[in-house]
Amino acid sequence: MTTKKVVLLPENLNLEQLLEAHPPHVRLWIENLKYIIGLISELPAYDHRLFATDEADDVLYIPLYSKLLKYKIRDYQHYLRYLVAVGVLECDKVYMVGFKSRAYRFTEPYRVKTVMEELTNPKLVRQTILENALDQLAHEQYPHLIRHFEGLEIDREQAQHYIDQLYEQESHSADHRVRQKAASRYSAYQTMINHLVLKTGKFRVDQSGHRFHSPLTNLKKELRNFLTFQGEPLVGIDLSCSQPYFSTILFRKEFYQPLGSTETMDLKQLPSDIQCLLTESIINAILVYTIDSNSNAPFPSPPCTLMCADSEITPLTSSHKQSELVYVNEAESSLVDGVKTFTDRISNGQFYEYLGQEVERITGRKVKSRQHLKDMVFSVLFSRNDEKRPFIVERKHVFEQVFPLIAENLKLLKSEDHRTLALLLQSIEAEVFLNRIVARITQERPEVPLFSIHDCLGTTEQNAEYVKHTMIEELKRSIGVVPDLKTEVWIPEDIDYVINAS
């Protein structure tokens, strides 16, 4: 049983002196103060907004869930009020019952590097009932992925040196937003390292996208180079363009209307809560923008009566029928060509190169970087259809000119709830990687160490070719498209210490 908990506190914060200089009106225990401050340092490690290039806020406010906090510290509100009153924390003062918790962040003077402190109060150290239940669920579903963590190590000294260098560069960046986030990012990276060193990381299976989460899930990619398994280097085998790759199956009629027993993924093979995200009316609308993979032709367009007003439904002359047939054939041809181009570019590893060329042709502007193209694709996949932010609207508009029918399909999938597409893609990924690839490897070679990071699998060098071969077979079988995989050896020598702090 864990007897201590490590928390991160701002290096310039002396709580003993603070309590002496500003005596609280009620008795406050110093370990409780450290626990709450530690949450503000730790929780950003699990918040993708801290690392997103599009995030507008300089420093994130961290929501604190009152019910969980009260389980640890009954009178937690006294501690929060005190920390705000003495200028350690600031609050966003936004609270909506059932929707939004109050959120906090460090004030400007305490946005600095952090130092580690140990807590020993049993109530602060032990997991809550909910945490235990979630941990048990993950162990029951994926014990074969968890057991190898016993042999997983991270070179703390080298990892620490790397994040120290990164902090120095980010804290002196010319970009104000990067400078402001430097301390929060440093604490997040320190949290990631600590979980691996101290074996305190949590294992979870999220109940929305059904993905498996481990101490490696949020680990900064560069820090993987300091990992070893029982002293051996690890190799990462990564699925390139994973979200666009998995989206290709959404353009196939058989995904929504399975023809029978088949190994190719279909909607009915996903968890029931995911299936319920797509109503019959949405599926019927989407089918217009899908192709029949067997005949390489699109699903027939819907009857004209679904698209015209009653007054427009009149008998067609043969000439009208002929012109409409030409129009339908052109539309079908455009759909097939669009899906084929989209799929082929993803499969051959040239998707972003092709997208970049088309964007430059359409806009007449040079694409700044591959990351800008990735941001464009993520905006198309995951933003709301009614998104108002100009830079996202522009990205989506340009993408629609490159892949108009692909974009229309994706918009329909998000038409009732923009989260639907993200959850679909996550659950497809989880089904293929966890329940097909990992399950097969575990059955065939249970001794092979395997570490799942969503669309990437890590293993030792001698097992890399076998794992890669299995991934190719199962991905092709499940999605119907040959994947483009990238293999990378995780060794410290591959770290680029000339860090671009942006």
The predicted-structure confidence for 247-290, as pLDDT tens digits, reads as follows 999 999 999 998 876 789 999 999 999 999 999 999 999 999 99
For residue 439, what are the CA distances in angstroms to 143, 162, 256, 428? 11, 35, 25, 15
Q: Is residue 286 part of a domain?
A: yes
Is residue 87 within a helix (H) or strand (E), and if so which, with residue range?
A: none
Q: Is residue 383 part of a domain?
A: yes
- Same domain for 313 and 408, yes or no, is yes
Which band of pLDDT confidence, cut at 50, 70 and 90, is reported for residue 296? very low
- Checking if the pLDDT of 337 tops 70, the result is yes
**Rounded to two decimals, what is the model's pTM?**
0.85
Tokens 């929707």 found at: 99
> Can you tell me the mean pLDDT for 296-308?
40
Tokens 């929780």 found at: 43
Instruction: Say whether 418 sits in a helix, a strand or coil.
Output: coil
- Checking if the pLDDT of 454 tops 70, the result is yes
Which band of pLDDT confidence, cut at 50, 70 and 90, is reported for residue 67? confident
- Same domain for 229 and 286, yes or no, is no
- Checking if the pLDDT of 479 tops 80, the result is yes
- Same domain for 286 and 412, yes or no, is yes
Tell me the pLDDT tens digit for each residue of 368-391. 899 999 999 999 999 999 999 999
What pLDDT sits at residue 98? Answer: 60
Q: Is residue 256 part of a domain?
A: no
What pLDDT sits at residue 47? Answer: 80
- Same domain for 203 and 160, yes or no, is yes
- Same domain for 286 and 334, yes or no, is yes
- Same domain for 43 and 167, yes or no, is no
- Checking if the pLDDT of 86 tops 50, the result is yes
Which of the two residues, 136 and 93, has the higher pLDDT score? 136
Residue 437 sits in a domain whose CATH number is 3.30.70
CB 2 within 8 A of CB 202: no
55 exposed, middle or buried (CB, 10 Å; 0-12, 13-18, 19+)?
A: middle
What pLDDT sits at residue 378? Answer: 94
Q: Is residue 232 part of a domain?
A: yes
Q: Which of 397, 416, 435 is the last residue of a domain?
A: 416
What pLDDT sits at residue 300? Answer: 40
CB 246 within 8 A of CB 428: yes
Tell me the pLDDT tens digit for each residue of 189-236. 999 999 999 998 889 999 899 999 999 999 999 999 999 999 999 999
The amino acid that residue 348 corresponds to is N
Instruction: Say whether 139 sits in a helix, a strand or coil.
Output: helix
| Rounded-to-integer distance, Cα 51 and Cα 178, Å | 10
- Checking if the pLDDT of 163 tops 90, the result is yes
| Rounded-to-integer distance, Cα 267 and Cα 257, Å | 8
Counting Cα atoms < 13 Å in the Cβ hemisphere of 147 gives: 10
Q: Which of 110, 126, 142 is the last residue of a domain?
A: 126
Tell me the pLDDT tens digit for each residue of 236-248. 999 999 999 999 9
- Same domain for 135 and 266, yes or no, is yes
What pLDDT sits at residue 301? Answer: 40
Q: Is residue 257 part of a domain?
A: no
- What residues make up the domain containing 460? 131-251+262-270+424-502
- Checking if the pLDDT of 114 tops 60, the result is yes
CB 90 within 8 A of CB 107: yes
Q: Is residue 377 part of a domain?
A: yes
Counting Cα atoms < 13 Å in the Cβ hemisphere of 179 gives: 6
- Same domain for 382 and 313, yes or no, is yes
> Can you tell me the mean pLDDT for 330-344?
84
Q: Is residue 109 part of a domain?
A: yes
What pLDDT sits at residue 177? Answer: 81
Which of 424-456 are b and which e, b meaning 16 or more Cβ less than 10 Å from the residue's Cβ? Answer: bbbbbbbbbbbbbbbeebbeeeeebbbbbbbbb
| Rounded-to-integer distance, Cα 403 and Cα 426, Å | 22
What pLDDT sits at residue 327? Answer: 44
What pLDDT sits at residue 442? Answer: 96
- Same domain for 113 and 149, yes or no, is no
| Rounded-to-integer distance, Cα 442 and Cα 433, Å | 12
- Checking if the pLDDT of 314 tops 70, the result is no
What pLDDT sits at residue 305? Answer: 34
- Checking if the pLDDT of 417 tops 90, the result is yes
- Same domain for 229 and 243, yes or no, is yes
What pLDDT sits at residue 496? Answer: 66
Which of the two residues, 305 and 127, has the higher pLDDT score? 127
Structural domains counted in the chain: 3
- Same domain for 408 and 443, yes or no, is no
Which band of pLDDT confidence, cut at 50, 70 and 90, is reported for residue 493? confident
- Checking if the pLDDT of 96 tops 70, the result is no
- Checking if the pLDDT of 320 tops 90, the result is no
- Checking if the pLDDT of 299 tops 90, the result is no
- Same domain for 55 and 100, yes or no, is yes
What pLDDT sits at residue 180? Answer: 85
Tell me the pLDDT tens digit for each residue of 9-54. 999 999 999 999 999 999 999 999 999 999 999 998 888 777 775 5
Q: Which of 416, 451, 479 is the last residue of a domain?
A: 416
Residue 376 — φ and ψ, nearest 5°?
-60, -50
- Checking if the pLDDT of 324 tops 50, the result is no
Q: How confident is the prediction for the chain on average, in pLDDT? A: 87
Left (φ > 0), alpha (ψ -120 to 50) or beta: where does 21 sit?
A: alpha
